[in-house]
Amino acid sequence: MSKLLEVKKLTKNYHDAPDSRDIIKDLDLTVNQGDFLCILGPSGCGKTTLIRCIAGFEDYEGDILVDGVKVDKPGIDRIMVFQDFNQLFPWKTVKKNIQYPLKVNGLKDKAELERIAQEHLDMVGLSDKGDLYPHQLSGGMKQRVAIAKGLALNPKIILMDEPFASLDAMTRNKLQAELLRIKEKENATVIFITHNIQEALVLGNRVMLMSRRGEIKIDIENKIPKPVTPASEGYGQMWKMFNDALWEENDDNQ
């Protein structure tokens, strides 16, 4: 597998108080093309800060390289899907929301814009929703559109910050399966933040846990064959390892 993302000696401190601590300290991380990396960790451990740095939304110390090129600003090679359902322009239709970033990046051909938008709506199972407005969609549908909007840019890395956390269990399971299907079809590289160990084991081919000190505590390949369920061989041991590590982090904070 080819190396796509390299994070070297990443340190981030917001310097928002005289004694502010480093949120992330000297973190090294490599992500290969086609990886689905799930990141777990207690609140405040720097998970979101890490992917915001990778997205180019934050300044930082150290190096972040995508295909050997240093990240110093946002770019269409890295797209971010957030937890918030309101990532879409409410005054634009679903199709126009997907087309907007393509237009901003120079695509003017109307037929091509139409083709790309429809192709990506088909991909996320919303073929007939292109003319609706965001307020006419459920939360799960809005997240599908946000994913379609990002994928239409053909990014090298999809960054997802707990995108399914606010959804009900059935919708969440459905979107997890949808995301895995799209990832396999597109051979996408995904970095996915979650608080849910089961979600990390269901989705990730690699699962990482960050400590409260902003360091990598566990980084392990997930060899449980997909589709993963709690009945899958090896699931119980992996779940327990991550659960124990999270408890340890919480105990350390007492």
Transcribe the chain into DSSP letters: --EEEEEEEEEE----STTPPPSEEEEEEEEETT-EEEEE--TTSSHHHHHHHHHTSS--EEEEEETTEEP-S--TTEEEE-S-S--S-TTS-HHHHHHHHHHHTT---HHHHHHHHHHHHHHTT-TT-TTS-GGGS-HHHHHHHHHHHHHTT--SEEEEESTTTTS-HHHHHHHHHHHHHHHHHHT--EEEE-S-HHHHHHH-SEEEEE-TTSSEEEEEE--SPSSP-TTSTTHHHHHHHHHHHHHHHHHHT-
Question: What whole-number percentage of the chain has pLDDT above 70?
Answer: 98
What is the band of 2 on the pLDDT scale with cuts at 50, 70, 90? confident
- Please give the model's pTM, rounded to 2 decimal places: 0.92
**pLDDT of amino acid 84:** 80
pLDDT of residue 44 exceeding 60, the answer is yes
Predicted confidence (pLDDT) per residue in 97-150, tens digit: 999 999 999 999 999 999 999 999 998 989 999 999 999 999 899 999 999 999
More confident residue, 188 or 222: 222
**Mean pLDDT value of segment 79-103:** 92
Domain boundaries of the chain, sorted by first residue: 3-77+157-252, 88-154
Among 10-19, 158-167, 228-237, the range scoring the smallest mean pLDDT is: 10-19
**pLDDT of amino acid 240:** 96
What is the band of 1 on the pLDDT scale with cuts at 50, 70, 90? low
Predicted confidence (pLDDT) per residue in 137-166, tens digit: 998 999 999 999 999 999 999 999 999 988
What is the band of 83 on the pLDDT scale with cuts at 50, 70, 90? confident
pLDDT of residue 201 exceeding 80, the answer is yes
Q: What is the rounded average pLDDT for all residues in the chain?
A: 92
User: Is the CATH number of domain 3-77+157-252 3.40.605.10?
Assistant: no
**pLDDT of amino acid 102:** 94
**pLDDT of amino acid 253:** 57
